Structure 1
Amino acid sequence: MDSLFQANLQGSGLMSQPLDVAYGSKVTIKSAIPGAGLLHSHADAYPDGSKQQQITGYTHKDENNDWIVKKVHGQTFGNTSETVEFVKNGDVVRLVHERTTRNLHSHAVPAHVSKREWEVSGYGLDGTYADGNDHWRVEVVEEISRNNPERRLRTLTTRFRLRHIGQNCLLRATGKSLPQWAWRQAEMACDRRITLDDSTLWNIENHVNALLPPAEPGQMRSPFLRNFVRLNLAMARSNNGLIPDKDKYDSLTSAPYEWPIMRLGLRMCGWGDKDVKFWLTGNPVVWLVSTLATVVLGPIQMLYYVVRRQRGLSDFARFSEWETHLYVCGILWGGWALHYLPFFLMGRVTYLHHYFPAVYFAAMYLAYFIEWTGRRMTGSGTARSTVALMLVLGIAAIGNFLYFAPFTFGFDYPAKELAGRKWFSTWNIYDEAK
């Protein structure tokens, strides 16, 4: 999630920072691209190209993420307790890596993975080399907070771009990873194609300046709708990123077609003989009978009634009775289908628990199917045969629950002792080799 969303979470310390960024402030700069992390540098140099200090993106908190905002070479700032000079939209600044004192730098050298873009490096020692390629213009793109007529650069609430003065390119998180010589960290480059998307957007996440007071309550608030949209987009990206590896066997995953027929269960923890073990599965009576009703009998029954109505044969005393039947079946069968069938279209990894929402609709459809069938056959939904069938299924379901209770509540003895409960050869309750 982005910095502003995290700042509004309970327990976050980001809300107590100064709001407006000034020259001399120590900051961390975060990319708007998920997974690109914070602008980072370390003492290691690029193995080729300029062979200058590496600039990367790093997703963890680290002192190597800290940068000092300074004026361009040849200019100074005179911050005191009474006068502070703030960074504004359009200002040309220099970013100095605090630990190594190198300047954020770019030049006409190809980047190391994205060859069409320019390399970004750490160059020179602060106050020693005056190179114009260390200068960047701050371009404010979006401001969440109100009352910012001077368009100051602000912590968390400002999204901005950094345009290199010499090359007229934008600091960009490419979305690619550097090789092992850069610890597989995210690649940063200077985009000469001027891509105006999230890859060139940044925000100040951490801000330290002893001369500035903390932000007032409410100044870093994020609108609810914005949080709602961004959270769901982040969850969707994370969900879509769970792609199965076909070259790697995974005993935990399962295919959607396997869920209704209980072909596989799911080990929830370590499986040592003395470990407390939990094995996720369904109630065979509920799952298998509801699958029979939902997948086979229900559609056949509905097709039978539809064909008879098209031929002018009426099985219902009133049209409203037929409408009610269609409505209930549409809700229950449709709920099952909408919660189950989309998994066949997903490219992400799937697990048994993904079927849980659908199985509730299937169980309710089973109960309605039995009651409806009994009413059509006997004229009453409470006929003895219907009630007897429901009692038998109910007792069988309770018996199944008790029989498979060790899987639900856990057991701390060898799984082989539960071999009798392995109803299907595909169930991985115990390892055959043991």
Structure 2
Amino acid sequence: MSAPNSTLRQRSGKEKNKAVVNGDKVEDVIANIYQDVQKKTSREWDYKAALAIITVLAFATRFFGISHPDEVVFDEVHFGKFASYYLQRTYFFDVHPPFGKLLFALVGWLVGYDGHFLFDNIGESYIANNVPYVAFRALPALLGALTVVVVFLIMWESGYSLPACVLASGLVLFDNSHVGQTRLILLDATLVFFMSLSIFCYVRFYKQRHEPFGRKWWKWLLLTGFCMSCVISTKYVGTFTFVTIGCAVCIDLWDLLDINRKGGALDLFTFGKHFVARAVGLIVIPFFFYLFWFQVHFAILNRSGPGDDFMSPEFQETLSDNLLHQASLDVHYYDVITLRHKDTKVYLHSHPDKYPLRYDDGRISSQGQQVTGYPFNDTNNHWQILPNDPILDGARADEPVLNGDLVKLRHVVTDTILLTHDVASPSYPTNQEFTTVPLELAAGERHNDTLFEIRMEQGKKGVPFKSMSGQFKLIHYPTKVAMWTHTSPLPEWAYKQAEINGNKNVQQSSNIWYVEDIPSLPEDSPRRIKEVRKPKHLPFLVKYIELQRAMFYHNNALTASHPYATQPFQWPFLLRGVSFWTQESTRQQIYFLGNPIGYWIASSLLAVFAGIIAADQLGLRRGVDALDKRTRSRLYNSTGFFFLCWAAHYFPFYLMGRQLFLHHYLPAHLASCLVTGALVEFIFNVDPVLDQETASTIASKKDKVTGKLSDKTKRTFQTASDRLKGHSMITTWAATFVVLAAVIGGFIFFFPLTYGWPGLTPAEVNARKWLGYDLHFAK
């Protein structure tokens, strides 16, 4: 991306015109004139007036009727809840980084909210529960309105004409998806605002490239890094903003490395300074800000809460009031225990019924006693933990079980011993079947097959094995498989209980179990008498790394189908939306949907840009140079940068296996609006400052220099000057008004679905099902 410049290319045969004025090349003289005029026109009142109008409209569209509906809407159940947890200092778990949620918590704290409401269900009343929901919604509305302003400023700072600025910002201003997402307690307004602010700051930084390492240069470099850190600290898709800026920086550094670069080559030491400065400003400092928000997150959430189960016992010990550790008991040999799976919450269970001789696919089982997972607690879930030596009554009684010990598990009701062997499980032919065998076989020929190792998560070998806090994997000693279960039920012959099998992938996190209770231990046992424990301390980086692993794991696990999930190829064409909220009595609904007209125009011009680049490259290969140097530079560097921003925020979604929704496309859509505004200027051949005043200014300065030029250069300069004088922006403004009129019409037409008001009749609903949108109340 580059600031506008102006040159005149003169050729005589194969030689360029070497005309000079007072020792300067003609091209440089004209460029200086152009820059002087640009500085003057960049302060013109019309840009400021247009920005003021757009700002007012942005706030009006985002804040209008923001109190409706006065009920919990869609994902407000999550992010409103998280704000309440922050205010209660109760630990929770979420797949997104903390920055955006901390902003909501700050709003709640500022208005004196105590976090008593937990946003449990869509449709719950805010009024009845005395929740300051308008204050919460005002934050994304504010950021959404400022995003429109930033889009205008990006275009302005990039040197585009007023119509281009108005069109790009207008497409965001009157887009229903941007409006709808910024009127609710959701994170996307924060994400999109800081994404756009990152682009703006980088544009300002790049404009300081001729004065490197100056105060302004450093200011805009560091602000770019800070804004990018806010993006990725809101959602991990903020990585795409780093990709955008990173690619632009790499191209810039590659240009600085060129020994033939314009303005002179840099020595390697100076180039190294440029490289290090960018690395520090755009990578190191953003990373430290990113860590800072997690530090705040951990500092606030110091009480036990619903997020405990996602973390290790060591992490949970850092939280006060942790029930898991208050109920934690040392497990001794010969204790009767109940084992529960961490993820599915089923108990390790057995009953006298046998596996069938043959399964549905024809495989033969061992016909041994069934071992299953059962969601309810009963006596068939009781197992006695025994030492690994042959069963001797009382041997090692009252000795604590230690991490790494080899043990046996006796099913109390049927008096059999747990075993797994090289027989395929019912549902997973690659996994081993779990069953039980009589005591005499367990003490004799099947002894080794009944041995299991207690392998506690993040526990040192030899530490006491505990109930509740002692999360562990049960590893079969001879075959090294881990006891595992899953959510798909077994057939009727197992009463549709969960399958227990031996998982060969021992490292899989879903292999984890814990001892929930020790039923054989009397209530008055000294082992149940516990002192009040003080929270332990873990280093920040240990907690941060553990949380990061859990966040990435659960984020990647969001692969289940969803009725409103969409594929990336559907977004540019707006093939479907998402139902946010409905009210049967008034036939009102909020349906998250973009402005189809705006989406289709922006998507079409993305294809147009790709076609223009392809045509230009083909023409250059064939010796056809249809563009002047400055126009090509702006097309490739500035518009190309916006296109890169769109591509970086769009194409990576094709590589993701997780659930995707329309709101994931908002950053890419904003970038497509920038491309649209830039292409309007290119298509209509509008110079950003070539109005009548500019033409007159250049014409007056032209008279002072043309006397020292050759006749041929004078004629070229005169032709260019005449073109500037005669150029009118009427056509450009007309195109801009036509496009915006259509976009505003679409915005108004879908207004009731965006604002949830007023209710629509079936005929009105069906009229808005342009591409078969699954709207409610269509009958």
Q: Aligned to 1:18, what secondary structure does the other structure show?
A: coil
Match of 1:173, SS state, is strand
Q: Does 1:28 align with 2:339?
A: yes
Say whether 1:138 aligns with 2:453. yes
The partner residue of 1:88 within 383, 394, 402 is: 402
Q: Give me the whole-angstrom Cα distance separating, in 2, the residues matched to 1:335 and 1:210.
A: 60
Give 1:418's aligned residue.
Answer: 764
Match of residue 82 from structure 1: none
Aligned partners of 1:425 and 1:162: how far apart in 2? 54
Q: d(CA) in 1 for partners of 2:538 and 2:408? A: 26
State the 1:87 CA deviation: 1.4
**2:62 aligned partner:** none
- The partner residue of 2:324 within 1, 8, 14 is 14
Relative distance call for 1:355 and 1:86 in structure 2 (3 A) is same
Q: 1:16–1:107: structure 2 CA closer, same or farther, 3 Å change rule? A: closer
The verdict on how the C-alpha distance between 1:159 and 1:47 changes in structure 2, with shifts beyond 3 A counting, is: closer
- Given that 1:41 and 1:122 are in contact with CA atoms closer than 8 Å, whether structure 2 keeps it comes out as no
Give the deviation of 1:351 after TM superposition. 4.8
Match of 1:223 in 2: 543
Pairwise CA RMSD: 4.6
Partner residue of 1:361?
A: 671
Task: Describe the shift of the 1:112–1:313 C-alpha distance in structure 2 as closer, same or farther (beyond 3 A).
Answer: closer
What's the CA shift for 1:404? 1.3
Aligned match of 1:210 = 528
Match of 2:311 in 1: 5
Q: Return closer, same or farther for 1:57/1:322 CA change in 2, 3 Å cut-off.
A: farther
Counterpart mapping for 1:298-337 below 5 A? 298-310=609-621, 311=623, 313=625, 315-317=627-629, 322-323=632-633, 325-337=635-647
1:56 corresponds to which residue? 372
- Once the two structures are TM-superposed, the CA of residue 91 in structure 1 deviates from its matched residue by 2.7
CA distance in 1 between partners of 2:430 and 2:596 (Å): 58
Query: Which string of whole-angstrom CA distances, capped at 9 and with x for unpartnered residues, describes residues 110-162 of structure 1?
Result: 455156766423566xxx9894368534253x7525xx463443565664443
- Count, aligned residues: 401
Identity %: 19
- Give the AA of the match of 1:223: K
Aligned-pair distance for 1:316? 4.0
Shift of 1:220: 8.4
Which structure features the higher share of helix residues? 2
- CA 1:422–1:258: 2 relative to 1, 3 Å: same
CA displacement 1:274-328 (0-9 Å, x = unmatched) = 5543333211332121112112x2122323443455537373455xx75554343
1:121 has 2:435 as partner: yes
For residue 235 of structure 1, the aligned residue among 549, 552, 555 is: 555
CA distance in 2, matches of 1:367, 1:381: 17
Distance 2:613 2:432 in 1: 65
CA distance in 1, matches of 2:664, 2:419: 48
Instruction: Say whether 1:45 aligns with 2:353.
Output: yes
Given residue 409 of structure 1, which amino acid in structure 2 is its aligned partner?
Y
Deviation string, structure 1 residues 353-399 (Cα, Å, up to 9, x no partner): 4433422221222223224545x434538855545544554454344
* Unaligned ranges ≥5, structure 2: 1-92, 94-307, 358-365, 519-526, 692-728
Amino acid at match of 1:231: M
Unpaired runs of 5+ in structure 1? 80-84, 245-249
Q: Which residue of 2 aligns with 1:261?
A: 573
Report the CA distance shift for 1:425/1:177 in structure 2 as closer, same or farther (over 3 A).
closer
Distance 1:235 1:428, change over 3 A: closer
CA pair 25-420 structure 1, distance change in 2 beyond 3 A? closer
Do 2:337 and 2:515's aligned partners in 1 also have CA atoms closer than 8 Å?
Answer: no
Matched, 1:282 2:594: yes
Closer/same/farther in 2, CA of residues 16 and 415 from structure 1, 3 Å limit: farther
Counterpart in 2 of 1:407? 753
Equivalent-residue separation in structure 2 for 1:280 and 1:363 (angstroms): 19
Q: Which of the residues 86, 105, 109 maps onto 2:418?
A: 105
TM-score by structure 2 length? 0.43
Q: Counterpart of 1:30 in structure 2: which amino acid?
A: H
Report the residue type matching 1:289 in the other structure.
I
Distance 1:107 1:377 in 2: 77
The whole-number CA distance in structure 2 between the counterparts of 1:394 and 1:292 is 15
Per-residue deviation, 1:41: 0.7
In structure 2, the residue matched to 1:247 is: none
SS in 2 for 1:223: helix
Rounded to whole Å, the distance in 2 between the matches of 1:379 and 1:168 is 73
Please report the TM-score for the alignment, with normalisation by the length of structure 1.
0.70
> Which whole-Å CA distance do the structure 1 matches of 2:441 and 2:531 have between them?
32
Give the aligned residue type for 2:418.
H
Q: CA deviation at 1:172?
A: 3.2
SS of the residue 1:278 aligns to: strand
Cα distance in 2 between the residues matched to 1:220 and 1:111: 42
1:183-227 Cα shifts (integer Å, max 9, x gaps): 444422357xx7654389544364666256676523789632233
Q: Distance in 1 between the 2:402 and 2:536 partners?
A: 21
Match of 1:74 in 2: 392
